[in-house]
Structures are given as structure tokens and as C-alpha cells.
Structure 1
Amino acid sequence: MAVPNVVTKRLGKGTLSTSSAVLYSAAPAGTIVLVKALTLCNKTANEATVTFSLAGTEVIFQHTVKAKDTITIPFLDQVLQSGETITGLSGTNNAINYYISGKEVN
């Protein structure tokens, strides 16, 4: 049996807008993605909501992030199959920065 190739990588980083956007698209056929951790930072002086979906399913829905607060989910441990995506949006434009880390296995 072949030993799988595991690549630890940043899956995405940036700033959310008020429109849902694809933040990461899982790799080619035969690749499984392990979404390991997610960090969200509200860089504004007001509360802002955030929604994140994995493979079309909301895993965080309109969660309020306090002003100037950072939330890290260190053990997200979710799986994406080839072709699936991570999407996200914020209730306030340019309020939330995100950083997603994980592993691609093929």
C-alpha cells in the first residue's frame, strides 16, 4: 500500500465581504482536505457577524464577533472531498479577517 502524501498548508486568508465568496476550493480528484483550524479577527470598533460554510453546509452561522476581538477554533477537524469549497461572509464589509489552515492528503 502506498504511503499517502500529506501537505500541511494555509488554505486561505483575507478579509470577508458582505457577499458569500469561495475562500478555498478543494484540490483535484483523489485529494482529501483536512480543515484543521480557523481564526477570525474583527478589526473594527463595532460587532460584526460571520458565516462560514464547508461543502455547502453552514458550520458557523451569523456568529457575532465582538469589536476588536479574535476567535480561534484550533481543532476544527473537518473533511472536504475533491471539488468541495469553504465559503464565508460577514454582516459588515471588510470587518473580519480570516485565516484557515489544514492538510491536503492524496
Structure 2
Amino acid sequence: MDDTYKIECYVETISSDGNVTVRGVDGYRLEKKEGEKEKAYNVFWKVEDAKNDEDGEVPVKVFSAEKSLSLEENSKELQFLLTAKANHLKASLDVALGNADEKDKVLIQKVSLI
């Protein structure tokens, strides 16, 4: 089963090696305690569970902001990310977690501007 998650976010950085850093919009990031420097966690929700949700409880996964997302070579998705970053637009990302051998790998599958 493919672990696909979604987040609504702003694109912070896009590097030449294909790594992307995002910041979740309100409701999609956790606040750190007062006095700590920055908000370091983004909240992703499971796509399949959100579609079938009847009781209001959607399982989420929290990723550290330091963890980069990787973009496979897909020029359409890259153009959406560049547009979102340049114009400070919200984006909706569908991401897939790597398999057990690639625990640190999070791949961007789809980008939509919202």
C-alpha cells in the first residue's frame, strides 16, 4: 500500500538538487512552545483516510521542517513549485513516503496551486 500524504503549504526553498522545503499554512503546522525560535513541524494528512473519513478523525503524520522533500524529474510539478514560491502562493502537495530502505525519502508526487 502506498503511503500518500497531503499538505497545504508555502514553498520556502527549491534547491538545484531537487530538494524542496515547505512551511505548512495555519492548521497544517504545529506551534513550538513560547520562547523557541521557529515552527519546525509540518502536519501531513493521509489522503485515503481523508476521503473515507466519517467521524472527523483523520490520521496525520508530522514531518520536521528540516527534512527536505524530493522532487522527481517532472517539469510540470517543478513549474508549479517555482510559481508558488515566486508569487508566495499556497500549494497543495501530495507526497509519498519512501519504503523501509529509504526512511528519510519523501517524494513529491503532485503539486496543485490553491
One fold, TM greater than 0.5?
no
TM-score (norm 1): 0.28
TM-score (norm 2): 0.27
Higher RCO (C-alpha under 8 Å, 6+ residues apart): 1
Bigger strand fraction: 1
Bigger helix fraction: 2
